């Protein structure tokens, strides 16, 4: 049966005008499709001409947030988003917080599932939502003045690591973060050096893990456990089961809130979880009694000299070592390149801090990695002053591979 075509919205600029339009569409039982301005054409291609529309009802179509591989435009019914919100409420309750009594702040764009869920959560909980403009997050002094935090109720904040890094760079940003009861950090790996610094500053981080396909968060590490020195993304939420694929180490998720599928040219393609309802993510991980640690993208893993290499894990390791030595490293990205003997070898893109000697930095980084096992050591190093993740804090690795080939 053909359904009602979605309301297509471009999430550009402030999120405040979009929020009531999304809620109004859902109240009418109408689906909403959200995209960044540069992705609207791709989204419209996935939606098609409407001739084969499924009966979606109140739902959302969002681009999956994977850091590599082909983007999929996932369909999530509103009921799944609300189930996710209920599980998150239970997580806060276990930490002694009443979700309805908290102020929930969100600087993330609504076209990402982690930016949309605060809207769903606060609507369900009857809590107050504060939508923070992206430009405030780039100016900690402005943020502290424009969004003073209340002293009479807990504040819950959602961030990606890039935003956290910017806020931690100034005294005003650190003081603002210290007033938050819970700081959910997701969307990308939390670098070990950044986590260590956050603990030293007493910031109540809650590293978490989720996906568009799982209606956002499936596990989270409580702030008290983070401050006690635990790493990883914590245990599964109440409505989620986690396991690892025995052969590849892929993180697999079982939950009733898995996406219905993804849209291609107006057709809904089933997500098709495996036996027992397990959905296989694209991430490799490690499970222990403390919960899940994400090692990196499986589609970003390399086979180098018969060794499996996870570039994201090594990026964090290198950044932590550089910080420990006081090196002026602003960003680093490790990519694989084919090589006949090894299969693939790593190369490194490096962005120094402004005014730093790039050549001297690379020499120092080469010395730092010299004791590493051969497969983990970058074979080539490149200075890249424009190196940066995207607005969601993710590395668009295909973009930087193109940069290398053009350079």
pLDDT higher than threshold 70 for residue 65: no
- The confidence band for 66, taking pLDDT boundaries of 50, 70 and 90, is very low
**Is residue 22's pLDDT more than 60?**
yes
pLDDT of residue 64: 83
Q: In CATH, what number does 7-297 get? A: 3.40.50.12780
CATH classification number, 301-406, choose in 3.30.830.10, 3.40.50.1370, 3.30.300.30, 3.10.20.30: 3.30.300.30
Range from 7-16, 156-165, 276-285 carrying the lowest mean pLDDT: 7-16
Q: Is the pLDDT of residue 397 over 90?
A: no
Inter-residue contact 79 to 215 (CB < 8 Å): no
At residue 124, φ and ψ (nearest 5 deg) are: -70, -40
> Of 116-130, 178-192, 212-226, where does mean pLDDT reach its minimum?
178-192
Say what the pLDDT of residue 41 is: 84
The domain limits of the chain are 7-297, 301-406
- Cβ distance 47 to 33 under 8 Å? yes
Q: Can you give the pLDDT at residue 375?
A: 84
What integer is the mean pLDDT of 5-9?
Answer: 88
Ranked by mean pLDDT, the top range of 37-41, 84-88, 285-289 is 84-88
Of these ranges, 47-51, 64-68, 211-215, 394-398, the one predicted with the greatest mean pLDDT is 211-215
Q: Above 90 in pLDDT, residue 222?
A: yes
Query: Do 250 and 280 meet the contact criterion of CB atoms below 8 Å apart?
Result: yes
- What is the reported pLDDT for 69? 43
Average the pLDDT over 370-380 and give the result.
Answer: 88
Quick one: pLDDT at residue 255? 97
- Please give the average per-residue pLDDT across 312-320, as a whole number: 88
User: Considering the entire predicted model, what is its pTM?
Assistant: 0.77
pLDDT per residue over 319-365, tens digit each?
989 999 999 999 999 998 887 667 788 999 999 999 999 999 999 99
Q: For residue 309, what pLDDT is reported?
A: 80
**What's the rounded mean pLDDT across residues 376-398?**
87
pLDDT at residue 57 is higher than 50: yes
Is the pLDDT at 68 greater than 50, yes or no? no
| pLDDT at residue 138, as a whole number | 87
């Amino acid at each position: 049966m053909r359904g009602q075509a979605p309301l297509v919205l471009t999430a550009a600029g402030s999120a405040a005008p979009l929020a009531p339009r999304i809620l109004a569409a859902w109240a009418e039982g109408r689906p909403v499709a959200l995209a960044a301005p540069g992705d609207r054409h791709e989204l419209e291609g996935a939606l098609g001409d409407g001739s084969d529309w499924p009966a979606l009802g109140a739902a959302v179509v969002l681009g999956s947030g994977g850091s590599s591989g082909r983007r999929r435009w996932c369909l999530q019914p509103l009921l799944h988003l609300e189930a996710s919100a209920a599980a998150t409420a239970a997580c806060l309750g276990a930490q002694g917080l009443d979700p309805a009594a908290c102020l929930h702040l969100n600087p993330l764009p609504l076209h990402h599932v982690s930016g949309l869920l605060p809207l769903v959560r606060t609507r369900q909980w009857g809590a107050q939502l504060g939508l923070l403009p992206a430009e405030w997050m780039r100016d900690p002094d402005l943020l502290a003045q424009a969004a003073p935090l209340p002293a009479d109720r807990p504040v819950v904040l959602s961030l990606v690591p890039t935003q956290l890094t910017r806020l931690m760079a100034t005294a005003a940003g650190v003081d603002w973060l210290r007033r938050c009861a819970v700081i959910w950090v997701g969307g990308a790996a939390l670098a070990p050096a950044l986590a260590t610094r956050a603990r030293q500053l007493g910031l109540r981080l809650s590293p978490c893990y989720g996906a568009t396909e799982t209606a956002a968060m499936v596990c989270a590490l409580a702030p008290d456990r983070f401050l006690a020195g635990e790493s990883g993304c914590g245990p599964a939420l109440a409505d989620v089961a986690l396991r690892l694929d025995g052969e590849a180490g892929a993180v697999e998720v079982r939950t009733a809130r898995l996406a219905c599928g993804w849209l291609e040219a107006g057709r809904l393609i089933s997500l098709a979880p495996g036996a027992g309802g397990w959905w296989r993510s694209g991430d490799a991980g490690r499970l222990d009694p403390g919960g899940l640690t994400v090692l990196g993208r499986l589609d970003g893993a390399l086979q180098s000299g018969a060794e499996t290499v996870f570039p994201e894990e090594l990026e964090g390791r290198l950044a932590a070592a550089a910080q420990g030595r006081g090196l002026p490293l602003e960003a680093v990205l490790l990519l694989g390149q084919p090589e006949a003997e090894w299969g693939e070898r790593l190369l490194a893109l490096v962005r120094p801090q402004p005014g730093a000697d790039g050549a001297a930095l690379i020499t120092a980084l080469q010395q730092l990695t010299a004791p590493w096992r051969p497969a983990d050591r970058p074979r080539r190093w490149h200075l890249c002053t424009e190196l940066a993740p995207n607005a969601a804090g993710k590395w668009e690795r295909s973009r930087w591979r193109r940069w290398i080939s053009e350079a």
